[in-house]
Amino acid sequence: MICSAPVLSRWGAIVVLVAAACGGMPAAAPAGAAGSDPCASAGTRLVECGFENDPAWLDSCRQSPRYVECLQAQGTSCNGLASCGFAEVNHTACGGNPAAAKGTAGCEATLGCLGACKGDVGCLCRCNAEMTVDVAAAVGVMNQCYLRHCQGCGASGSGECNACFAKNCSPKYDSMCRAH
């Protein structure tokens, strides 16, 4: 199960493997369900970390034992949980090599790297690998924000996409990514 979606960021049109793993965005758990279900617990925590809610994420999460195992190992760390999505993508798209979120690149550098890939899957996996785990949540939230709010703007040109990103994603970018 490979997850890809067209993305336009401040750095141009790219195809980004969705950081929140296949299925898009985390879902908040129904009341009382989070403690018994690792995906529900992680989804609730990821929403608290800045990701937007998507009920379809729970089913997708539950389909990968490897992803669930990673989530369980990360506890409640926003960056740790988000890094599981990058690891799942790198495993699915690139056979797990290189491992995701094991580098030193910050948020802006990682988004710039992803933007330069122009859809090359191997390049995207290398960018995911070069990212430090300390910015995994920020990069994931930026990718998700674009996918949710601006994905269809590519046909209208980069100016419209940049305006969409500025309107919908800049507050999160400024608080989570700028200078990190």
**Domain residue ranges in the chain:** 4-176
Confidence of residue 16 (pLDDT cuts 50, 70, 90): very low
What is the reported pTM? 0.79
In angstroms, the CA 62 to CA 47 distance is 17
Residue 153 has pLDDT above 50, yes or no: yes
Using a 10 angstrom Cβ sphere, with 0-12 exposed, 13-18 middle and 19 or more buried, the burial of residue 94 is buried
**Mean pLDDT (whole number) for 59-80:** 94
pLDDT tens digits, 19-67: 333 344 455 544 444 458 999 999 999 999 999 998 888 999 999 999 9
pLDDT at 156: 61
In angstroms, the CA 33 to CA 25 distance is 18
In angstroms, the CA 99 to CA 14 distance is 21
In angstroms, the CA 173 to CA 176 distance is 5
In angstroms, the CA 164 to CA 159 distance is 9
Number of H helices, E strands in the chain: 9, 2
Q: 13 φ, ψ to 5°? A: -75, 130
Task: Give the residue, 73 or 3, on which the prediction is more confident.
Answer: 73
Task: Give the residue, 6 or 159, on which the prediction is more confident.
Answer: 159
Q: Are 175 and 135 in contact (CB under 8 A)?
A: no
